[in-house]
A and B are shown apart, each in its own frame.
Chain A
């Protein structure tokens, strides 16, 4: 992709990561690991792919996004804030009593297309949105991100059958394969592998991508756009906790907030990365 565009996306993704850190730190709880692993993909979707309108969040023609792995709401909120759906200040009151930003995505938050958080459910709602577009000949696309642990839920495969059966080629499901879930490595807890073969067997067009390389991300979504007659699954190889050294590929950061010292270190790492990109 264009080097300037790529650099801009990298800068935005870095700001998104800072927002995730800010949110989780101030909430003193939340899920930083899986939020950081999808930060680049979400940045690409909202800043280079989807038609969305921060001033008109409910515009009927908009592309839809459902965060099926809803516990990584800090990533979605941070990208929506960067995009201008609400102020980045809101991130500081994430999970607080009376705050706009709930612990898991809520449809009443500007820019959030579907409430989610109970795993396995978001992909079904995404199927409904895609079916609706097919029925009415609407041209919008529907994107959803699932966790690699999440696909242990049986409902995911009900939805996978449905999407292929109704030829929902306006639906792209991204599986965030960071390899970790609460109890450990997905391969040890309850192996979902081989993920690619499973989606292929369910009738999906499957693309593999590197979740932290915008050239790879761009190539995957460009390929997805060309597919007709079947839904597309993008299996993204990612690193849980990506961008904060001590959180990377470490399961203990699935659902824990950093303390003040860890926050300061994480912040300085991300700010250094941002300065290097902007410098």
Chain B
């Protein structure tokens, strides 16, 4: 199969499709949006279940509070907007009206990271994982492809408590097999076993890590690739296991290196298995406008940079 044959789907599309597919099975599922139903893809659900989709207008703070109120009555609301507004603008409502009462609200945050592209820095949220994982009891999921994103939506429904789900705007390769893939909340996935270095990635960066491992193999470097789709609760056992095995951990995420996957991995390793860690991510700076793929390259969020960084790390 050539690269051109690889199916590409944006995980926001997976989110909308999953909601529409699961709407029949879970009659208690409701969807809220903040004037972005076309972009977050909850419009797909709205088309099928118009009476279960509520537009809240451009008012994210109120939307999160409405979701909280719905949840107190036993309904399962999916509050949807861009990551910037869900985790950023509405942070305090998510903390106090959803997190503190531990309500069964699911937050579907699309357009995460710099791969938002042309809209530029105001809409490229690279802080959401950091914000959401500090809220006690909040589950944080960052799926890597279409198959995983759809499975994550159902896992979120089955989990009783608040869940933050991070989806992307950019179409990305589907590498998981829908027929055999099984999503386990809080469990990382070892995609490739290796002994020289552990590449721990999340979201869109997982596919880049897989591609990088192939190139590294050709260079004689045997990389282990781990997908951490659930950033909280994080799979500490798997992280300790791989770190003990390779002694070198490279984290890759489309998020600020402060507070995201890399930080979460360091939290685990600092306590349980001190290991040298190198982080690839957005280096504490704002993004800017441009085509998503070009931006990802510019910020080093691509297979080439993973190969380069991993090779230097292994040789060091």
Within the complex, what minimum Cβ distance (angstroms) separates B105 from chain A? 10
Inter-chain contact B62/A155, CB cutoff 8 Å: yes
B63-95, CB < 8 A from A: 63-75, 77, 92-93
Q: A114-B69, A124-B97, A125-B72 are in contact. Are A159 and B62 (CB under 8 A)?
A: yes
Report which of A60, A108, A117, A118 forms a contact with B74, defined as CB distance below 8 A.
A60
For the complex with contacts A114-B101, A122-B65, A155-B59, 12 further pairs of A-B residues with Cβ separation under 8 Å are A107-B101, A115-B96, A121-B61, A124-B65, A124-B68, A124-B69, A128-B73, A135-B75, A155-B62, A158-B59, A159-B62, A159-B65
Inter-chain contact A125/B68, CB cutoff 8 Å: yes
Q: Does B136 have its Cβ within 8 Å of any Cβ on chain A?
A: no
Q: Does A161 have its Cβ within 8 Å of any Cβ on chain B?
A: yes
Instruction: With CB as the reference atom, state the residue of chain B lying closest to A156.
Output: B62
Within the complex, what minimum Cβ distance (angstroms) separates A127 from chain B? 5
Enumerate chain A residues within 8 angstroms of B69, measured Cβ to Cβ. 66, 114, 124-132
Size category, B interface:
20 to 34
Q: Mark A89-131, 1 if CB is under 8 A from B, else 0.
A: 0000000000000000011100001110110111111111111
CA distance A165 to B54 in the complex (A): 11
Enumerate chain B residues within 8 angstroms of A64, measured Cβ to Cβ. 72
CA distance A127 to B63 in the complex (A): 10
Inter-chain contact B72/A162, CB cutoff 8 Å: no
Inter-chain contact B73/A133, CB cutoff 8 Å: yes
CA distance A117 to B96 in the complex (A): 8
Enumerate chain B residues within 8 angstroms of A106, measured Cβ to Cβ. 100-101
Q: Does B50 have its Cβ within 8 Å of any Cβ on chain A?
A: no
Within the complex, what minimum Cβ distance (angstroms) separates A89 from chain B? 25
Enumerate chain B residues within 8 angstroms of A133, measured Cβ to Cβ. 73
Q: Does A184 have its Cβ within 8 Å of any Cβ on chain B?
A: no
Q: Does A166 have its Cβ within 8 Å of any Cβ on chain B?
A: yes
Q: Does B30 have its Cβ within 8 Å of any Cβ on chain A?
A: yes
- Kindly name the residue among B51, B65, B74, B100 whose own CB sees the greatest number of chain A CB atoms within 10 A: B65
Q: Does A154 have its Cβ within 8 Å of any Cβ on chain B?
A: yes
Q: Does B274 have its Cβ within 8 Å of any Cβ on chain A?
A: no
Q: A128-B72, A155-B93 are in contact. Are A121 and B65 (CB under 8 A)?
A: yes
Instruction: With CB as the reference atom, state the residue of chain A lying closest to B103.
Output: A107
30 CB contacts below 8 A, A to B, read A60-B73, A60-B74, A107-B103, A113-B72, A114-B72, A115-B97, A121-B65, A124-B66, A124-B97, A125-B65, A125-B69, A126-B69, A127-B62, A127-B66, A128-B71, A128-B72, A129-B69, A129-B72, A131-B69, A132-B75, A133-B73, A135-B30, A135-B51, A136-B73, A154-B61, A155-B62, A155-B93, A159-B65, A162-B57, A165-B57
Inter-chain contact A162/B73, CB cutoff 8 Å: no
Kindly list the 5 A-B residue pairs having the minimum CB-CB distance in the complex, ordered from nearest: A128-B69, A124-B65, A158-B62, A158-B59, A125-B69
Q: Does B56 have its Cβ within 8 Å of any Cβ on chain A?
A: yes
Instruction: With CB as the reference atom, state the residue of chain A lying closest to B34.
Output: A158
Q: A117-B96, A131-B54, A162-B56 are in contact. Are A155 and B61 (CB under 8 A)?
A: yes
Enumerate chain B residues within 8 angstroms of A125, measured Cβ to Cβ. 65-66, 68-69, 72, 97
Within the complex, what minimum Cβ distance (angstroms) separates A107 from chain B? 4
Q: A155-B62, A162-B57, A166-B54 are in contact. Are A118 and B70 (CB under 8 A)?
A: no
Enumerate chain B residues within 8 angstroms of A120, measured Cβ to Cβ. 61
B interface residues (Cβ-Cβ under 8 A, vs A)? 30, 51-52, 54, 56-57, 59, 61-75, 77, 92-93, 96-97, 100-101, 103
Instruction: With CB as the reference atom, state the residue of chain A lying closest to B95.
Output: A118
Instruction: With CB as the reference atom, state the residue of chain A lying closest to B69.
Output: A128
Instruction: With CB as the reference atom, state the residue of chain A lying closest to B70.
Output: A128
- Kindly name the residue among A106, A107, A131 whose own CB sees the greatest number of chain B CB atoms within 10 A: A131
Within the complex, what minimum Cβ distance (angstroms) separates B60 from chain A? 9
Within the complex, what minimum Cβ distance (angstroms) separates B29 from chain A? 12
Q: A155-B61, A161-B59 are in contact. Are A131 and B101 (CB under 8 A)?
A: no
Instruction: With CB as the reference atom, state the residue of chain A lying closest to B100.
Output: A115
CA distance A81 to B92 in the complex (A): 30
Enumerate chain A residues within 8 angstroms of B62, measured Cβ to Cβ. 124, 127, 155, 158-159, 161-162
CA distance A162 to B70 in the complex (A): 14
Enumerate chain A residues within 8 angstroms of B54, measured Cβ to Cβ. 131, 166
Inter-chain contact B97/A121, CB cutoff 8 Å: yes
CA distance A138 to B67 in the complex (A): 18
Within the complex, what minimum Cβ distance (angstroms) separates B99 from chain A? 10
Enumerate chain A residues within 8 angstroms of B96, measured Cβ to Cβ. 115, 117-118, 121
CA distance A113 to B68 in the complex (A): 11
Enumerate chain B residues within 8 angstroms of A136, measured Cβ to Cβ. 73
CA distance A154 to B63 in the complex (A): 13
Q: Mark A148-163, 1 if CB is under 8 A from B, else 0.
A: 0000001100110110
Within the complex, what minimum Cβ distance (angstroms) separates B309 from chain A? 42
Enumerate chain A residues within 8 angstroms of B93, measured Cβ to Cβ. 118, 121, 124, 155
Inter-chain contact A118/B92, CB cutoff 8 Å: yes
Inter-chain contact A132/B70, CB cutoff 8 Å: yes
Within the complex, what minimum Cβ distance (angstroms) separates A245 from chain B? 35
Enumerate chain B residues within 8 angstroms of A154, measured Cβ to Cβ. 61
Inter-chain contact B73/A132, CB cutoff 8 Å: yes
CA distance A155 to B77 in the complex (A): 19
Inter-chain contact A124/B57, CB cutoff 8 Å: no
CA distance A114 to B65 in the complex (A): 11
CA distance A161 to B35 in the complex (A): 14
CA distance A128 to B79 in the complex (A): 12
Inter-chain contact A162/B101, CB cutoff 8 Å: no
